[in-house]
Amino acid sequence: MLAPAEKLPTPLGLLAELTHRCPLGCPYCSNPLKLDPRADELDTATWARVFREAAALGVLQVHLSGGEPAARRDLVEITAAARAAGLYANLITSAVGLTEKTLDALADAGLDHVQISIQDSLAASADRIAGYDGAFARKRALAAHVVHLKLPLTVNAVIHRANIERVGDLVELALALGAGRVEIAHVQYYGWALENRAALMPTAEQVKRAVGEVEALRERHRGRIVIDAVVPDYHARYPKPCVGGWGRRSLNVTPAGRVLPCHAAETIPGLEFWSVRDHSLADIWASSPAFRAFRGTDWMQEPCASCPRRHEDFGGCRCQAFALTGDARATDPVCHLSPRHAIVEQLAGVRTEADYVYRR
Amino acid sequence: MSEVEKVTVVTEDARPRLPRGVRLVHNEAQGGFVLLAPERVFKADAIAAEILKRCTGEATVAAIVDDLAKTFTAPRELILTDVTKLLGSLADKRLLEL
């Protein structure tokens, strides 16, 4: 040993991307541009093993996601396996392709919570954003069934220029649907969202108004609905503590079984990812080169390396640093202390009226 | 547990319970009791865990406070303050039904 190793952190959450298949085409999707094909997807038994290994590692919650997780015919078995491993099972769904009958079976299998994405409070706009006629009506109907089953419901609303004027309406809609929690998630520019950045980018004025509105709504609805916000980081002074710090709180398993520190990590060239097909999750968490690359603070350059906030925001997001500066070890340029901050200010002003590139 | 200014009033005849989707579990790797909730995890200290274990939907707040006062030979008024503060704050976050 060259230096005393820092105590290995214990992860809290596992994002299980069960499939990249999805009926919707949302232009802000965080999935990679190159999707894992169906033939490469992990089978039921492997997911069950991954969940047992995750629980043994200290993971408490599994987020069953995708793509659209209901595109998997074994979703009920997978959910039951998560509960059998002792994990809190959270379903993150578009609601399209998830039948009421399947939802009944998922509730019986022990599903703990359902998150449904809603694209807008106006049906026509919501369906246009999703690239799927009738999606909005389907989502409302399934949300009602979640509440009927007495399962807790979160509404997730990704916010961008086409719906940012209606954050208040989206919170009201979540309340009307019976959600206990709503995420007002300003779009983060990765994957398809990065591709569509100029078409999604709101104005600084719109962002300011929306953030203020959400603060007021949170106070007004305290005790009725929990409002969680994902901040519009291109308009922020400091970067977000991306995934709570690299290799610190969570891991992400792709449909084909590669284990990533975050969903966009594969955009950083030169990182070596290990697969659950070849290694145990504990081994990957502790030793895979990708997880070790940016864990802790030793990798940092200035101004991060001596920054008093380095243990709070961990230098921001590595994928964003790479996407915007070409250097994954750089300070996330969202930070006003970054010497490259002007890039973000410039990009935040670039807008186009051109059509979305839908995720397909 | 972290606390926010509470607005939910907790009365002694309420029968608190954890709603579906909120579970108190003990986890060695995380170093004790944790409250699992929709996409959130809260570490529960020893006092919070003792209170939450008793939130079954059957016992009233009064009975829970009596039980805790007896078990830990502590003044009832003090326990009542702790219990109503915690339960009110959890209800605000939709982590408890009263």
Nearest to B79 by CA among B66, B92, B60: B66
Look up tokens 């995708």; give the residue: A66
**Cα–Cα distance measured from residue A69 to residue A18, given in angstroms and rounded to the nearest whole number:** 6
Paired tokens of B79: 């326990």
The identity of residue B23, as a single letter, is: R
Sign of CA dihedral A174, A179, A184, A185: negative
Mean pLDDT in residue range A19-35: 96
Which residue of A lies nearest to B28 if distances are taken between CA atoms? Answer: A58
pLDDT tens-digit profile of A51-76?
Answer: 999 999 999 999 999 999 999 999 99
pLDDT tens-digit profile of A199-231?
Answer: 999 999 999 999 999 999 999 998 899 999 998
> What's the confidence (pLDDT) of residue A4?
47
**Cα–Cα distance measured from residue A316 to residue A328, given in angstroms and rounded to the nearest whole number:** 11
Longest dimension (CA), chain A: 61
Is residue A122 helix, strand or coil? Answer: coil
Which residue of A lies nearest to B22 if distances are taken between CA atoms? Answer: A112
Mean pLDDT in residue range A64-89: 97
Nearest to B21 among A60, A63, A113 (CB): A113
Which DSSP category does A164 fall into?
A: G
Peptide bond into A67 cis (omega under 30): yes
- Per the CB < 8 A criterion, the answer to whether B92 and A223 are in contact is yes
Is residue B57 helix, strand or coil? Answer: coil
**Cα–Cα distance measured from residue B37 to residue A305, given in angstroms and rounded to the nearest whole number:** 35
Contact A61 B39 (CB under 8 A): yes
Is residue A304 helix, strand or coil? Answer: coil
DSSP annotation string for A229-254: EE--GGG-SS---GGGSTTTSEEEE-
Interface residues from chain B to A (CB-CB < 8 Å): 4, 7-8, 19-23, 25, 27, 29-30, 34, 36, 38-39, 41, 91-94
Report CA Rg, chain B: 13
Q: How many CB pairs under 8 A join A and B?
A: 62
Mean pLDDT in residue range B41-50: 94
**Cα–Cα distance measured from residue A179 to residue A146, given in angstroms and rounded to the nearest whole number:** 9
Longest dimension (CA), chain B: 37
* pLDDT band of A355, cuts 50, 70, 90: very high
- Per the CB < 8 A criterion, the answer to whether A254 and A17 are in contact is yes
- The number of beta carbons lying within 10 Å of the beta carbon of residue A143 is 22
DSSP annotation string for A212-232: HHHHHHHHHTTTT-EEEEE--
In this structure, the strands spanning A181-186 and A226-230 are: parallel
pLDDT tens-digit profile of A177-193?
Answer: 999 999 999 999 999 99
- What pTM does this model have? 0.94
Please report how the helices B46-53 and B76-92 are oriented relative to each other, as an axis angle in degrees rounded to 10.
80
> What's the confidence (pLDDT) of residue A1?
39
Gap from B94 CA to chain A (nearest CA, Å): 6
Is residue B97 helix, strand or coil? Answer: strand
**Cα–Cα distance measured from residue B55 to residue B97, given in angstroms and rounded to the nearest whole number:** 9
Interface residues from chain A to B (CB-CB < 8 Å): 10, 12-13, 57-58, 60-61, 63, 86, 88, 90, 112-113, 115, 150-152, 154, 180-181, 222-223, 225-226, 228
> What's the confidence (pLDDT) of residue B18?
96
* pLDDT band of B29, cuts 50, 70, 90: confident
Mean pLDDT in residue range A246-272: 97
**Cα–Cα distance measured from residue A67 to residue A267, given in angstroms and rounded to the nearest whole number:** 18
> What's the confidence (pLDDT) of residue A270?
95
- Return the H-helix or E-strand segment holding A64: strand A61-65
**Cα–Cα distance measured from residue A300 to residue A307, given in angstroms and rounded to the nearest whole number:** 10
Report CA Rg, chain A: 20
* pLDDT band of B3, cuts 50, 70, 90: very low
What ipTM describes this predicted complex? 0.86
Residue A153 has pLDDT above 70, yes or no: yes
**Cα–Cα distance measured from residue A176 to residue A163, given in angstroms and rounded to the nearest whole number:** 18
> What's the confidence (pLDDT) of residue A3?
46
Spell out the residues 6+ positions from residue A127 whose beta carbon is closer than 8 angstroms to its own: A119, A133, A134, A135, A136
